[in-house]
Structure 1
Amino acid sequence: MSATLLKADVLIKGDTIVEVAPDLTVPQGNCEIVDCTGKWVTPGQIDTHRHVWMSIMRGQQADWLLTEYLVKLTATQSPHVTASEASIGTLAGCLEAIHHGVTCVVDHAHCINTPDHAPAMIAATIKSGIRSKFCYGHAAPIPAGFQFTPEHAEKYRLWQVKQITELAEQGVQSGLGAGRLSDRVDLGLAYDALQADQTNLSEHQETIGLARKHGLSPITTHYVGGPVTKYSHNVKMWADAGLLDKDVLFSHANGLTHKDAVEEEWDLLLKTGASIGSTPEDELGMAHGNPVAYEAIKRGVRVGLGCDCVSIQSADLFTQMRVALQWQRGHDHAILSGTSGTAPLYHKYSSASAFRLATLGGAEALHLEHKLGTIEPGKLADIVVISVDDSINLAGTVDPFQGYVFWAKGEDVMDVMINGEWVKRGGALTKVKWADVVGDLRKAMKGVEERRASPAEQNMVYEATCKQMGCAVQ
């Protein structure tokens, strides 16, 4: 879990890092020289699980449990979000990620309500300049009153499968390659249908097979294991269905440390190379279960960090690094105290380990460590420049890894380069100005909020649903 500090120059040509070494000779010809004295030059952060469009949903959600979120938003608000609202939410969400130093995001896009939604959200993603795995949310929106019918599900399944195929083939037609939507946006698949219904196995195999035929990656799916949800062994479920492979990314994976967990699931992850996107802040707050990032590290399983619902949790990986590391430290201390009654002599995990989770760990979770996650020759130029000497947060720091993990914030991210292009410079976004977005964002947020039931009505529906499901209502 070590990370390396190096005082060096970085030479970039086009979209690629060419050389990293002290005192490089400036190339002849047209060359931009960036003086980073008093700054940290770091790899871009990689968010392995984020619902990007949800930047328009910041209403009354920060105190919700997962069950409240599923009833009050997924079931009753999300199905009414329009394509234009989802588009501006995606654009704002991508810009917000860039602002905080995230250069690559796995976008679990679970708001594809009509055939107009995905193209609008993809266009917004490309416009922002971020590197994205746009994981198409293949699922029917929850119908009014939870009145599920086979006809409802089949209606959405047919046009979504058709659209996924068309989007995948666009890359071939444009010369980018199957599943490539631009030079930095790739098509993936967000697929929770297997957990919801295991009776239509052939249908699941057909859809996942289609995704793999067109090179869609990752195939991301939720796996929680907290006190407020029905628990199942999702990794084993995918394996038993013949669908588990290295392209499957399990968001959260808290079920791996559930009281009914089985060791076989860890073995399956290690054997296949399937990975985990851990989102510690919302997992703790929404009762998903306890974070598993460091347990995955101990077992050699690929794992990165993510923010999840940006309408409920922080939208930066600085927070996720701190929460992941400090929760694990507290957990380890409690075990030590409970088993031996002794105090720890040193911390088991360092700040550098959390830095790695947010950078190279994310690249490994996506099987892209050969392209992303570190500043090395041959890798793509996704780079973040952190202000240090001029920062109120960082001016007094001695150890850069400690400073980065414990004190840095989005305001300290001065410059962001993605694919060799500056997308934030001098503290300001360059591809799209925030001033040109915020008005439309607020308008969309207002529209969504006006369609929301009152808190009293939401609570009434939520409590009735919980009672019907056998959940305890405090």
Structure 2
Amino acid sequence: MATDAPKAEQFTEGRPVVFRNATVITVDREGVIEGGDVLVQNDTIAAIGVALEVPEGTLEIDASRGILMPGMIDTHRHMWQTALRGYGGDWALSQYFSFYYLQYGHVFRPEDIYAGNLLSALESVDTGVTTTLDWSHALRTPEYGEAALQAFDEIPGRFVLGYGNYLGAPWEWANSPEFRAFVDRNFSAPNDMLGLQIAFDVTGDPAFPEAAAFQAAKDLGLRVTTHAGVWGATTDTGITQMYDGGFMTPEICYVHASTLNEQSYQKIAATGGTVSVATESEDSAGQGYPATWLLRKYGIDSSLSMDTSVWWSADFFSAMRATLNADRSREHLEAHARNETVIANRLRAEDVVWQATMGGAKSLGMEDTLGSITVGKKADLVLLKNDESPAMTPIIQPYAHVVFQANTADVHTVMVNGRVVKYEGVRIGMPLAPVRDKVAASVEYVRSTLGEVEWEQGMHPKLDPQEQIKNPYGYTDSGDAHVTAETA
């Protein structure tokens, strides 16, 4: 028999927990279970059903009027950049490259990596993203990598470090004794709460020096995550080199993959690769049109990601919503170009919920343990429930509700590896204030190092004047009509 509704201090290690009377989105063959219960014992989903019998002393969470779903999985987030949240909100992709790659990337210290990762990790758990791949491409030395890992050690989430160094050559650092020692030091024993991948891009250099980095990953038994199909940066040439070199395998995740040709998509599909779609990024930064409308035609599985909070949010509900909207918008545009009308949407709300959960697990090679509410899998769960939110009632179509109605304020309970880390909308043992102080110190350092002029110019890129289209019907005096910097 279960106990009364719990208080945060009652969530003790090893005590069974049952979610009662939820709308359960399993993301597996069970589909949606109305009025469902999910029993968690230790770190594992022990039982799923209706009116489950549970062990004596089991802690009960009232999940009625709520949706219980698997923890969401972000397969590509530059977590260290979260310390400069929103700084590049008006950037184009070239300004992002210029700021980090050409001008100020060398400014950031290990403690800045730590501060950004700490805030990002806390935010991930807080918003229901229970697993995050940190595409950490500013790890200039293993000391920087240690700083990234320190943040993960302090936040009770599940993380994968995508080790990268955009200021170095991956074929060199991936084979260096220092990197190998870092791997041995931190990843010599299995740990399903912390994983490691190698993160680098293939530039299309005819010599294909990146082959040595792929070989290093193979030697170490590590997956690779790589930006591919980014307009003007990573092209089909890189895919051809990877394929001809025998490096395209199911262990490769291609980030964005927005501007590839038919042969490249077919090679990804044939070799079992996956794609991480970062729709808000692709819509705004110009890597190419979000590729889900193409990926399903080629039979390529995809996951979702937020990319970076230096531009956008870390809101996975927004990621799902933006992806569905972009895909449907493309369908309409393609149909209109043929003078046709879309009569049924091909990408459904259920599909993007799958991308946000099971798709992410598959991209990380964790589909056997994460991504769905399945007996025997790890207990990474999110309860969406907010009895004071008009948007949370009624719940009629659960998948559409998650995508179009719910938001981060509705994240009631978060469980990671069987441990409740947020309950009734409040994090357990994760105060923001110490994290905020570390981030503030990092921001102050970066700002003072750049100097006030460069800081402001970096945040507000200049625009060349653009001539406004003349209006033959312009007989009305526009008065104080708003004029953007673009047309000023």
What residue identity is the alignment partner of 2:199? A
Query: Measured at CA, do residues 160 and 69 of structure 1 come closer, stay the same or move farther in structure 2, by a change above 3 Å?
Result: farther
Query: Measured at CA, do residues 378 and 388 of structure 1 come closer, stay the same or move farther in structure 2, by a change above 3 Å?
Result: same
2: CA distance, partners of 1:214 / 1:162: 13
Give SS of 1:254's match.
coil
2: CA distance, partners of 1:326 / 1:353: 13
Shift of 1:430: 2.2
Give SS of 2:392's match.
coil
What residue identity is the alignment partner of 2:215? G
What residue identity is the alignment partner of 1:188? Q
Shift of 1:24: 1.0
Query: Measured at CA, do residues 364 and 389 of structure 1 come closer, stay the same or move farther in structure 2, by a change above 3 Å?
Result: same
1: CA distance, partners of 2:125 / 2:62: 21
* Paired residues of 1:133 and 1:188 also in contact (CA < 8 A): yes
What residue identity is the alignment partner of 2:268? L
Aligned counterpart in structure 2 of residue 424 of structure 1, from 412, 422, 428? 422
Larger relative contact order (Cα-Cα within 8 Å, sequence gap ≥ 6): 1
Q: What residue number does 1:223 align with?
A: 228
User: Do structure 1's residue 17 and structure 2's residue 34 form an aligned pair?
Assistant: no
1: CA distance, partners of 2:347 / 2:205: 40
Query: Measured at CA, do residues 456 and 196 of structure 1 come closer, stay the same or move farther in structure 2, by a change above 3 Å?
Result: farther
Within 5 Å, give how 1:84-163 maps onto structure 2. 84-140=111-167, 157-158=172-173, 161-163=176-178
* Paired residues of 2:66 and 2:383 also in contact (CA < 8 A): yes
What residue identity is the alignment partner of 1:255? T
Q: Which 10-residue stretch deviates more, 73-82 or 316-325?
A: 73-82
Within 5 Å, give how 1:176-187 maps onto structure 2. 176-177=189-190, 182-187=191-196
* Paired residues of 2:28 and 2:373 also in contact (CA < 8 A): no
Give SS of 1:437's match.
helix
Give SS of 2:259's match.
helix
Within 5 Å, give how 1:72-87 maps onto structure 2. 72-87=99-114
Aligned counterpart in structure 2 of residue 247 of structure 1, from 246, 251, 260? 251
* Paired residues of 1:293 and 1:304 also in contact (CA < 8 A): no
Within 5 Å, give how 1:42-61 maps onto structure 2. 42-58=69-85, 60-61=87-88
* Paired residues of 2:91 and 2:461 also in contact (CA < 8 A): no
Shift of 1:301: 1.0
**CA deviation map 1:15-69 (0-9, x unaligned):** 11121111110113x4322221221110011111110111112353111111110
**CA deviation map 1:346-405 (0-9, x unaligned):** 323222222111111112222322211110111111100111433243234422211110
Shift of 1:139: 4.0
User: Do structure 1's residue 265 and structure 2's residue 264 form an aligned pair?
Assistant: yes
What residue identity is the alignment partner of 1:133? V
1: CA distance, partners of 2:138 / 2:299: 33
Q: What residue number does 2:472 align with?
A: none
2: CA distance, partners of 1:273 / 1:323: 26
Query: Computing the radius of gyration over CA atoms, which structure comes out larger, 1 or 2?
Result: 2
1: CA distance, partners of 2:42 / 2:367: 20
Shift of 1:126: 2.3
User: Do structure 1's residue 210 and structure 2's residue 205 form an aligned pair?
Assistant: no
Q: Which runs of 5+ in 1 are unaligned?
A: 142-152, 464-472
* Paired residues of 2:447 and 2:455 also in contact (CA < 8 A): no
1: CA distance, partners of 2:461 / 2:432: 37
Aligned residues: CA RMSD: 2.8
**CA deviation map 1:302-331 (0-9, x unaligned):** 210000011101212111111111111111
Paired-residue identity, %: 26
Query: Measured at CA, do residues 354 and 158 of structure 1 come closer, stay the same or move farther in structure 2, by a change above 3 Å?
Result: closer
Give SS of 1:323's match.
helix
* Paired residues of 2:255 and 2:277 also in contact (CA < 8 A): yes
Q: Which runs of 5+ in 2 are unaligned?
A: 1-26, 464-485
The structure whose residues are more often helix, as a share, is 1
**CA deviation map 1:287-308 (0-9, x unaligned):** 1100112421332212100000
2: CA distance, partners of 1:459 / 1:31: 52
Q: What residue number does 1:170 align with?
A: 185
Q: Which 10-residue stretch deviates more, 156-165 or 76-85?
A: 156-165
Within 5 Å, give how 1:320-359 maps onto structure 2. 320-339=319-338, 341-359=339-357
Shift of 1:253: 0.5
Query: Measured at CA, do residues 397 and 137 of structure 1 come closer, stay the same or move farther in structure 2, by a change above 3 Å?
Result: same
2: CA distance, partners of 1:114 / 1:167: 10
What residue identity is the alignment partner of 2:198? L
2: CA distance, partners of 1:377 / 1:460: 51
Number of residue pairs matched by the alignment: 436
* Paired residues of 2:203 and 2:233 also in contact (CA < 8 A): no
1: CA distance, partners of 2:350 / 2:65: 20
2: CA distance, partners of 1:368 / 1:59: 31
What residue identity is the alignment partner of 1:427? G
